[in-house]
Structures are given as structure tokens and as C-alpha cells.
Amino acid sequence: MEPDELKRAINQIMPFGKYAGRPLLNLPEPYLVWFHQKGFPPGKLGEQLALMYEVKLNGLEPLLKPLLESNEK
């Protein structure tokens, strides 16, 4: 994976649902677990959500927080 791709995934804004408008890195872990169980959407967004699931599952979120471009914490 390219570093730019990771940064884009972290900063991708969730386009729909309860957490619309949040960067993917800021989605709650239970929401990502739900997607993991039900199936991620097809395409690039699904790949990015699956990546954020792995990030949270492996406790890597604190390492990636500095890459967020948004002011939202």
C-alpha cells in the first residue's frame, strides 16, 4: 500500500449513514465491526472502511491521528 493511499483513506469523509461527514479514522469501532460482519460496501469506500477496521482492530489509530487533515478529533 502506498503511504498516500493510507492518508487518503484516513481522511476520506463518510458519505452516508449515522456518521456521515466524519473522517473514516474517526468512525467508532463498533460501526466498523458491524460493517465487517454485514459486508463492506463495494468499491473504493469498502476497501477504505476495511482498512480502518484493521487499523482499529490492531490498535494503530493513535499512530495515524497526526495524519488527519480535519480539525475533528
Q: Concatenated DSSP letters for 25-57?
A: GGS-HHHHHHHHHH-PPSSHHHHHHHHHHHHHH
Residue 48 lies in a domain: yes
CA distance 31 to 53: 9
Tell whether the model's pLDDT for residue 1 goes beyond 80: no
pTM over 0.75: yes
Residue 61 lies in a domain: yes
Residue 72 lies in a domain: no
Indicate the number of domains in the chain: 1
Tell whether the model's pLDDT for residue 73 goes beyond 70: no
- What is the residue range of 45's domain? 3-67
Match 473514516 to its residue by C-alpha cell: 24
Please write the tens of the pLDDT for every residue from 43-70.
999 999 999 999 999 999 999 999 998 5
Please write the tens of the pLDDT for every residue from 9-50.
999 999 999 999 999 999 999 999 999 999 999 999 999 999
Residue 73 lies in a domain: no
Residue 43 lies in a domain: yes
